[in-house]
């Protein structure tokens, strides 16, 4: 898993890029990024599938904030990214959310 942050000088946003390998998504056909920035909508931020079976997605988020997020594979498999800045309880049983600090 890979998370890259690119802080823009021209405006108070950070371009955040996510990349997941085919193995990391357990051969899923569809992967979405969900979080408090899109009201946890599994159809809002869908990754692009690359030729090698990996997935990538980028978006711009306002700096000076923290964002809770997770991934959803094939509409039902929720999982975290080991490269999140930290993890916090999600309020849904034992599940934890990754946190991006921008």
**Token pair of 29, please?**
């056909």
Specify the CATH number for the domain of residue 18.
Answer: 2.60.40.10
The pTM is what? 0.93
d(CA 70, CA 35): 6
User: For the chain, how long is the longest CA-to-CA vector?
Assistant: 41
Confidence bin at 84 (pLDDT 50/70/90): very high
Asked if 60 contacts 14 with a C-beta cutoff of 8 angstroms, the reply is: yes
φ/ψ of residue 53, rounded to 5:
90, -5
Domain around 12:
2-101
Cβ atoms within 10 A of the Cβ of 37, count? 19
| Number of domains comprising the chain | 1
Bridge partners, 88 (sequence order): 97
pLDDT tens, residue by residue, 7-59:
999 999 999 999 999 999 988 999 999 999 999 999 999 999 999 999 999 99
Q: Identify which has the larger pLDDT, 8 or 93.
A: 8
């Amino acid at each position: 898993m890979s998370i890259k942050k690119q802080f823009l000088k021209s405006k108070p946003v950070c371009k955040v890029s996510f990349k997941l390998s085919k193995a990391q998504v357990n051969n899923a056909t569809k992967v979405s990024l969900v979080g408090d920035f899109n009201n946890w909508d599994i159809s809002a931020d869908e990754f692009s599938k690359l030729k090698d079976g990996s997935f990538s997605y980028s978006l711009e988020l306002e700096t000076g904030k923290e964002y809770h997020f997770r991934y959803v594979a094939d509409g039902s498999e929720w999982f975290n990214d080991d490269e999140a800045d930290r993890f916090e309880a999600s309020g849904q049983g034992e599940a934890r959310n990754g946190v991006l600090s921008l």
